[in-house]
Structure 1
């Protein structure tokens, strides 16, 4: 009799427990549907920023190749009349005269080379114990601080990695890489400037954010070097487009 009563109690527990579990599962499914809007919460095909950057870089490389292939056709076109040819020649002479000021031609002279690098592991393969991931990498603000200090010291021209910098150049950090004019670079980041090396070093020493970076370099092993020597900068080769520039006067002066 007792065994029978125990069996009845167990059946009663299951009879009430199963609906409760089903109701809870229904609530969870309803909440999940409401949050996801009917889509998967974790989609494996969701685009990532790094993938978008790589796709954009492939597009830039493809368009650059197309531009280079069309360049000879433009150079070989001399216009349909003597007047057009003369106008084209005048424009070409004017462009050639302005090219050095626009950083479109190579430049050689005495200068300064600044190199920034992510922290490296010690002999035991370890980083400092109290370092966070952000303490161990070069950030966009570090690069910008160095560039601003060099420009403020009167640098005649600056190159980063293998690209010449102009007024519209904007290095951007994407993860642990650098994006510059559609191309990505990994550290070390090499910044080469032509000008008064002593003045540029003084400007770097006086820049607060560069000083902060040097402190982190000592504390967490980030890389930072300055080297004075004769350098050569490449000319800027990408198309120059000013989207928001307007002439000041009737003649553009």
Structure 2
């Protein structure tokens, strides 16, 4: 700022030095005692290299300019149109799995019908034993009094509701896998005869997995709010939820940041039978070559 308005005058002193002797090395010896390369000693390839370098710099500058111009028009340089969106792919697979489950349920109904026809000669005790196993496996519908637990994410702009509690991080405002597992385990501990998450019945091999803020259950994808319904003694189910340390830990976040939590009772609820595959996949030893 202090130099604005100033006019700088440059003085140049020019001294002419005449060459005196040309050595065999290709250098001129001047009267000042110095040397300077003769024109014949300068490598010719240096000029070519400079031209190539200049062309490369101009090409790179042009590419950057064109990219900036294209982006300024609103083009998303991160998009990849030929590739389908992952979310669309997941929804498509989930819908396909739902159709397959309906087909499996229909086929299982045919198998059950044929099984009943083939078991006409069984005794009453044997039939009761088979029916009892079906109820434990979870492939048959189950009706009875129930408790439904609903969990939901907090609003994305939620703030701390309790004085002295730090502001929430993004992970504090969403339902996690451990929260759903805590509710399911507590309901089993409370003597639940059957449990359903959303519209699917749980069996012994069911796995509750969350990716981000979505639930993946038996090949299908769900978003919050999540509803967990358990058929059993409502009083014992309530007591099990209150006695679970993991559930109580989740309730601390409910009070602190406003995560969703609702427990309701129903006099009569029918849980559908499990309609997916019951085949077990397990590791087998590999024989040495």
> Shorter-normalised TM-score: what interval?
0.5 to 0.7
Shift in Å, 1:185: 1.8
Q: Which residue of 2 aligns with 1:128?
A: 159
Shift in Å, 1:221: 0.9
Aligned partners of 1:106 and 1:232 also within 8 Å: no
Q: Which residue of 2 aligns with 1:34?
A: none
- Structure 2 Cα separation of the partners of residues 154 and 196 of structure 1: 7
Q: Which residue of 2 aligns with 1:235?
A: 272
- Structure 1 Cα separation of the partners of residues 114 and 242 of structure 2: 51
Shift in Å, 1:103: 1.7
Aligned partners of 1:108 and 1:230 also within 8 Å: no
**Backbone CA RMSD of aligned residues:** 3.9
Change (3 A) 1:49 1:171: farther
Aligned partners of 2:151 and 2:224 also within 8 Å: yes
Q: Which residue of 2 aligns with 1:19?
A: 53
- Structure 2 Cα separation of the partners of residues 136 and 221 of structure 1: 8
The farther-off stretch of 146-155 and 64-73 is: 64-73
Aligned partners of 1:157 and 1:165 also within 8 Å: yes
Q: Mark the runs of 5 or more structure 1 residues left unpaired by the alignment.
A: 3-14, 27-40, 79-84, 246-253
Aligned partners of 2:104 and 2:277 also within 8 Å: no
Aligned partners of 1:159 and 1:165 also within 8 Å: yes
- Structure 2 Cα separation of the partners of residues 75 and 203 of structure 1: 35
Q: Which residue of 2 aligns with 1:31?
A: none
Aligned partners of 1:159 and 1:233 also within 8 Å: no
The correspondence of residues 31-110 of structure 1 with structure 2, limited to 5 A, is 44=80, 45=82, 50-64=87-101, 66-67=103-104, 86=118, 96=131, 98-110=133-145
TM-score by length of 2: 0.58
The correspondence of residues 173-252 of structure 1 with structure 2, limited to 5 A, is 173-243=210-280
Q: SS at 1:100's partner residue?
A: helix
Q: How many equivalent residue pairs?
A: 208
Change (3 A) 1:68 1:167: closer
Output one character per residue of 1:71-107: Cα deviation in whole Å (capped at 9) or x when no partner: 78768879xxxxxx747986xx675553222222222
- Structure 2 Cα separation of the partners of residues 109 and 71 of structure 1: 23
Output one character per residue of 1:22-52: Cα deviation in whole Å (capped at 9) or x when no partner: 48x99xxxxxxxxxxxxxx967255665344
From the CA coordinates, give the structure whose radius of gyration is larger. 2
Shift in Å, 1:62: 3.9
- Structure 2 Cα separation of the partners of residues 225 and 210 of structure 1: 12
